[in-house]
C-alpha cells in the first residue's frame, strides 16, 4: 500500500487539535500566497498547457490565468469566512432512564479525490477539507501534473511554516496505478470522490472498494416553453452555453416548444458566430461550442426527452407561466432545476457555499454542489450515570 495513505491517515487525527480560528488564518494566508506566487503557478500551468492541443475541450479547464487565480483566492477566503461545519448538534434528547443522546457533526477523516485536467480542484478540495477537519489525498490527471505539484508544494510549505503536519494533503503520482491503489485503500480512504467525465466516474464506481460519492457528468437541457420570454431566453441560453463550454453545467441541448419554432433564429442569434448547432446527437455532453436543438410538441414531450437523456445534473425551463414552471420543477429529476435562470449557476461558490468539491448527481447522500456540510458525517454521543440495559 502506498505509504502516502498511511501518512495522510496519521496526519488526519491532528486536525482535530487545530482550532477553527487557526484553520481560517491558514486558509487566508494561502489565499494571499496565491497572488504572491501567481507567476510560479502560471509557469507550471504553462508547461501543462504546452502538452495539450488548444482544440481539446479540456484545454479551458486546464488553463489558469491571473483572473482565475484571483477567483480561486477569493473563494478560499470565502471558505475561511464561513462557519465551521463541525460540532453541530442535530438531534438531542434524554431517555426516560436519564441517558442523554445527541448527534454531532464530525469529519469523514480522509477524503480521496480523483480528477482530471482541473488544477483549480486542488485548491478547492484542500480548502474545504481543511476547514471541515478532513485530510485529503489527491490524484490528478497527467495533463495537469505540473500545475498540481506546484500547488500542493506551495500549500505544504505554508503548513510547515504554520506548524501543521503537511501530510494532511498529499498528491499521488498521475498514473493509472495510483487510481487503482486509491480505490482499494480500505482503512485509509474514508470517502472517494471522482470528478471528471463519464468514463472516469463509471470506472471509479465499478472498481472502488472504498465508499464513493459520484460527481456526475452533465448532460444539461434548457426548455424554451410556448410562454417563454424571448429576451430572457436569449440571455439565458447564451449564458448557459457559452460562458464556459468545458464545465459540467454548460448547456448541451435546447428544447423549443413547436409554437415558438419560428423564434429559434432569434433565440440563438447571440451565439451564432461561436456555436455549431445540431439537430441530433441527443444525450451528449458536448464540452465544446456545440449545441443540440430539438423542437418538442408539448411540455410532456420536453419532460419525456429530459427523462430519457438527462444525467440528473442541472435542467432549466424558460417560461412566464408559473403553473408550467412549477410542474417542470416538480417532475424533472435532477440535482438542480431552474426557472428563468441559466444552469451556469450550478456551482458551490455561486450557491454561497464558498467552493465545491464537486456536483453530486446521485440521490443517496449529498446531491448538487458539495461543500463543507456535505463532507461531514456524524456520530452519536451518549452520556449516562451508571444506567444498565434491562
Q: Say whether both 30 and 92 belong to one domain.
A: yes
Q: Say whether both 39 and 167 belong to one domain.
A: yes
Q: Say whether both 182 and 85 belong to one domain.
A: yes
What pLDDT is stored for residue 215 in this prediction? Answer: 81
Q: Say whether both 291 and 191 belong to one domain.
A: no
What pLDDT is stored for residue 60 in this prediction? Answer: 87
What pLDDT is stored for residue 175 in this prediction? Answer: 92
- Cβ atoms of residues 156 and 136 within 8 Å: no
Q: Say whether both 90 and 183 belong to one domain.
A: yes
Q: Say whether both 207 and 226 belong to one domain.
A: no
How many domains does the structure of the chain reveal? 2
Q: Say whether both 53 and 165 belong to one domain.
A: yes
Q: Say whether both 126 and 229 belong to one domain.
A: no
Q: Say whether both 373 and 333 belong to one domain.
A: no
Give the list of residues 6+ apart from residue 115 with CB closer than 8 angstroms, or none: 121, 138, 139, 140, 141, 194, 195, 196
Question: What CATH number has the domain bearing residue 225?
Answer: 3.40.309.10
What pLDDT is stored for residue 61 in this prediction? Answer: 87
Q: Does any domain span residue 352?
A: no
Q: Say whether both 171 and 235 belong to one domain.
A: no
Q: Say whether both 329 and 364 belong to one domain.
A: no
Q: Does any domain span residue 61?
A: yes
Q: Say whether both 211 and 284 belong to one domain.
A: no
What pLDDT is stored for residue 51 in this prediction? Answer: 95
Q: What is the pLDDT of residues 293-324, one digit of tens each?
A: 999 999 999 999 999 999 889 999 999 999 99
What pLDDT is stored for residue 1 in this prediction? Answer: 56
Dihedrals φ, ψ of 215, to 5°? -110, 105
Low-confidence ranges of the chain (pLDDT < 50): none
Q: What is the pLDDT of residues 175-214, one digit of tens each?
A: 999 999 999 999 999 999 998 877 888 899 899 999 998 8
Q: Does any domain span residue 85?
A: yes
Residues spanned by the domain of 81: 3-215+357-383
Amino acid at each position: 500500500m502506498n505509504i502516502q495513505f498511511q501518512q495522510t491517515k496519521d496526519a488526519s487525527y491532528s486536525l482535530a487539535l487545530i482550532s477553527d480560528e487557526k484553520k481560517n488564518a491558514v486558509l487566508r494566508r494561502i489565499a494571499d500566497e496565491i497572488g504572491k506566487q501567481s507567476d510560479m503557478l502560471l509557469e507550471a500551468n504553462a508547461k501543462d498547457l504546452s502538452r495539450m492541443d488548444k482544440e481539446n475541450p479540456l484545454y479551458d479547464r486546464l488553463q489558469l490565468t491571473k483572473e482565475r487565480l484571483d477567483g480561486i483566492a477569493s473563494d478560499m477566503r470565502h471558505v475561511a469566512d464561513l462557519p465551521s461545519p463541525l460540532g453541530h448538534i442535530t438531534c438531542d434528547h434524554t431517555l426516560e432512564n436519564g441517558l442523554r443522546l445527541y448527534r454531532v457533526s464530525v469529519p469523514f477523516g480522509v477524503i480521496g479525490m480523483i480528477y482530471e485536467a482541473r488544477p483549480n480542484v486542488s485548491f478547492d478540495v484542500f480548502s474545504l477539507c481543511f476547514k471541515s477537519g478532513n485530510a485529503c489525498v489527491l490524484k490528478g490527471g497527467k495533463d495537469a501534473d505540473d500545475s498540481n505539484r506546484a500547488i500542493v508544494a506551495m500549500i505544504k510549505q505554508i503548513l510547515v511554516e504554520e506548524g501543521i503536519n503537511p501530510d494532511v494533503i498529499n498528491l499521488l503520482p498521475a498514473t493509472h496505478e495510483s487510481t487503482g491503489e486509491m480505490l482499494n485503500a480500505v482503512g485509509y480512504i474514508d470517502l472517494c470522490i471522482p470528478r471528471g467525465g463519464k468514463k472516469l466516474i463509471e470506472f471509479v464506481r465499478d472498481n472502488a472498494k472504498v465508499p464513493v460519492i459520484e460527481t456526475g457528468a452533465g448532460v444539461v437541457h434548457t426548455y424554451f416553453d410556448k410562454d417563454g420570454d424571448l429576451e430572457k431566453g436569449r440571455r439565458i441560453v447564451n449564458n448557459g452555453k457559452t460562458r464556459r463550454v468545458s464545465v459540467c453545467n454548460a448547456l448541451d441541448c435546447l428544447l423549443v416548444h413547436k409554437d415558438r419554432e419560428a423564434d429559434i433564429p432569434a433565440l440563438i442569434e447571440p451565439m451564432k458566430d461561436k456555436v455549431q448547432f445540431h439537430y441530433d446527437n441527443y444525450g451528449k455532453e458536448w464540452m465544446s461550442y456545440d449545441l443540440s436543438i430539438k423542437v418538442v410538441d408539448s411540455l410532456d414531450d420536453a419532460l419525456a426527452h429530459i427523462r430519457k437523456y438527462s444525467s440528473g445534473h442541472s435542467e432549466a425551463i424558460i417560461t412566464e407561466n408559473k403553473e408550467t414552471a412549477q410542474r417542470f420543477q416538480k417532475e424533472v429529476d435532477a440535482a438542480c432545476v431552474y426557472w428563468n435562470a441559466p444552469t451556469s449557476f450550478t456551482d458551490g461558490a455561486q450557491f454561497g457555499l464558498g467552493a465545491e468539491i464537486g456536483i453530486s448527481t446521485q440521490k443517496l447522500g449529498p446531491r448538487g454542489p458539495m461543500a463543507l456540510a456535505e463532507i461531514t458525517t456524524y456520530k452519536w454521543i451518549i452520556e449516562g450515570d451508571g444506567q444498565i440495559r434491562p
